[in-house]
Amino acid sequence: MKAAGVTLAALVIILFAGLRFVHLEADFPPGVSGSGDLYTDEGAYSSAAVRWVTTGQWRLEGDFNPAVNLPVYPLIQAVTFKALGLSLGHARLTSVILYLLLMAAVWALARRWAGPVTALIALLVMAVNFNAFAFSRLALLEVPMTLFVVLGLLAAARGGATGTVLAAAAFLLALLTKTAAGFALPVILLVLLWRPEPLTRRLAQAGLFCALTGLGLLAYYFVLVRGHLPDYQTYFMTNVLLRTQGGLWDLGRALVRIIWYGRQFDPVLYPLALLGAAGVLVVGGKLRRHPLFWISVVWIAAYLATLATQNYAPARFYLVLAAPVGLLLGLMIEHLARSGRRGAAGLLAGVVILALAVSGGRAVDYLRHPQYSWASMMRELHGLVRQDGRENPVILGHFANSLSLGTGLLSLNDHYTWKSSLPARLERYRPDYYVTLGGIEAPIRSVLERYGTVEPVRTWDVFHNYYTGEPVALYRLTRKSPLEASRP
């Protein structure tokens, strides 16, 4: 690649890295996600950090406490909130910074085995792709998980006892950020076994890696999980077991569906990378013996297989594929150019640049017209709560944890816990407000009306009501007096 091209690519990467900091509290772009995660997930997985900076306690007895299962990201967020203060923008700032660190780690990974073309193409895809741009600005688990995975790969490539120990530590952090990081096990083992060392030494390092990871998980269980087993079981049941596919036929159909849904990442670059990799596997050649090619292929295959075990695959899950897709495309372009097929390399590079130009245009247009329905709703809701003057108000609801990011209110989750425990939690924490999309579900309304009066306060149109077609609704809860509660 000519010096002018390198300079231009570097400037584009820096530009889109910087644009990630613009309008951080703006609404997520419409039409990208069909999942309800825009309402729920940012707050759910930061809830321990929010509680810690507002109450000094990281968990709430009987409520949804995912930090027992996934403690790493709440710890990172707690540092951010303690240093900068609690806000939706600061929660998202953490994710942006981690994503930039991920890009730096991918650059280091690419340069270990490939030239600057591969590294630049990989970073261009990660920086400019619209799906990656949008989701890397949300406070979600995919970014830190992927960062720890890449750090594990870099440590494994270093080799030796130190590299193996660091790889195990990074992999353990990835697993304790999000359990889907299990996909990286074969990828890290591949790197450990690929090293130019005697087979016995490579096997010993792979064994040490597995042993250290297992010991780390055992230590985590005895130090944290054993004392909070109900919290661990609640998360595991609702977010893992209840979503697990059963039977080979179901798994096969799910894998086909998951591969097809990968187009959510990019309708051009994703299939182009997969088709190119398939062609290399069939035709052979030098690229098929390239370690970075196999790292990328095993990464994509293992991750898609992991997603296929679940019956839930929202668009944000495919953010994890940004790095290997970019690496594959960069490798193919660089390989074609070095083997003398400059026309083919230029054609492939042109397709990649055109696809990224469309993505980049979408990102710039999105930032030119920011909307703030979500952040505005939080501020207005907080104002209404302050006007009521209730002491230490508590808010209940499926996405109440997310509202805590913008309000600091103590929140309870009514969905990711056993419904049978709701009456007891109502009596224990005495929530003052209930928030939901549209009307209240009949079973929950029944419980709330036994607890007290349920008074509608206000509704807001948020995210264009994309998920259920209904607005966010706030209800005021007034607990019955003991005399009223005793009446039939």
Rounded CA gap, 472 and 482, in Å? 31
Q: What is the pLDDT of residues 130-151, one digit of tens each?
A: 999 999 999 999 999 999 999 9
Task: Please state, in angstroms and as integers, the Cα–Cα distance from residue 121 to each residue in 148, 275, 303, 348, following that order.
Answer: 21, 17, 21, 11
C-alpha distance from residue 48 to each of 236, 316, 383, 402, 466 (Å): 17, 22, 24, 12, 28
By the 8 A CB rule, do 40 and 397 touch? no
Tens digit of each residue's pLDDT (9 = 90 or more) over 423-468: 888 999 999 999 999 889 898 999 999 999 999 999 999 999 998 8
Per DSSP bridges, beta strands 472-479 and 452-460 are: antiparallel
Please report, to the nearest 10 degrees, the dihedral formed by the alpha carbons of residues 385, 390, 396, 402 taken in order: 40
Q: 3-state class of 284 per DSSP?
A: coil
- Confidence band, pLDDT 50/70/90 cuts, at residue 488: very low
Q: What is the mean pLDDT of residues 348-364?
A: 96
Name the band, by pLDDT with cuts 50, 70 and 90, for residue 359: very high
The Cα–Cα gap between 110 and 104 comes to: 10
Residues near 232 by Cβ (< 8 Å), separated by ≥ 6? Answer: 68, 69, 225
pLDDT at 426: 92
Categorize the per-residue pLDDT at 482 as very low, low, confident or very high, splitting at 50, 70 and 90. Answer: low
Query: CB within 8 A of 47, min separation 6: which ones?
Result: 64, 65, 66, 67, 74, 401, 404, 411, 413
Give residue 252's Cα distance to chain centre.
25
Q: How does residue 178 score in pLDDT terms, banded at 50, 70 and 90?
A: very high
Q: What is the pLDDT of residues 307-326, one digit of tens each?
A: 998 878 899 999 999 999 99
d(CA 93, CA 98): 9
pLDDT at residue 52 tops 90: yes
Put residue 392 in one of left, alpha, beta given phi > 0 → left and psi -120 to 50 → alpha.
Answer: left
Average pLDDT over residues 226-247: 81
- Choice among 1-10, 139-148, 214-223, 345-354 with the minimum mean pLDDT: 1-10
Taking a C-beta distance cutoff of 8 angstroms, is the pair 323, 106 a contact?
yes
Q: Span 35-63, mean pLDDT?
A: 93
pLDDT of 237 reads 82
Which has the closest alpha carbon to 292: 334, 251, 256, 262? Answer: 334
Which positions ≥6 away from 228 have C-beta within 8 Å? 59, 65, 68
**What pLDDT does residue 364 have?**
97
Cβ-contact 316, 33 below 8 angstroms: yes
By mean pLDDT, which of 220-224, 232-236, 237-241, 330-334 is the weakest?
Answer: 237-241
The fraction of the chain above a pLDDT of 90, given in percent, is 78
What pLDDT does 487 receive? 43
Which residue type is seen at 170?
A
The single residue listed with the structure tokens 């130190």 is: 162
pLDDT tens-place string over residues 250-264: 788 888 999 999 998
pLDDT over 80 at 394, yes or no: yes
Mean pLDDT, the chain, as a whole number? Answer: 92
What are the structure tokens assigned to 150, written together?
Answer: 């890449």
Euclidean distance between CA atoms 424 and 362, whole angstroms = 48
Q: What integer is the mean pLDDT of 181-186?
A: 97
For tokens 């130090």, name the residue.
223
Question: Tens digit of pLDDT for each residue in 321-347?
Answer: 999 999 999 999 999 998 889 899 999
User: Any idea which of 181-190, 393-402, 413-422, 465-474 has the lowest mean pLDDT?
Assistant: 413-422
What is the per-residue pLDDT for 483? 41
Using CA atoms of 221, 225, 230, 234 in order, give the dihedral in degrees to the nearest 10: -80
Report pLDDT for 215: 97
Query: What pLDDT is attached to residue 1?
Result: 65
- Write phi, then psi, for 460 (nearest 5 degrees): -135, 140
* Domains observed in the chain: 3-30+87-368 (no CATH), 373-486 (3.40.190)
CB 412 within 8 A of CB 431: yes
The sheet with strand 433-437 has its strands ordered as 410-412, 394-397, 433-437, 472-479, 452-460
Q: Quick one: angle between helices 400-407 and 373-388, nearest 10?
A: 80
pLDDT at 385: 94
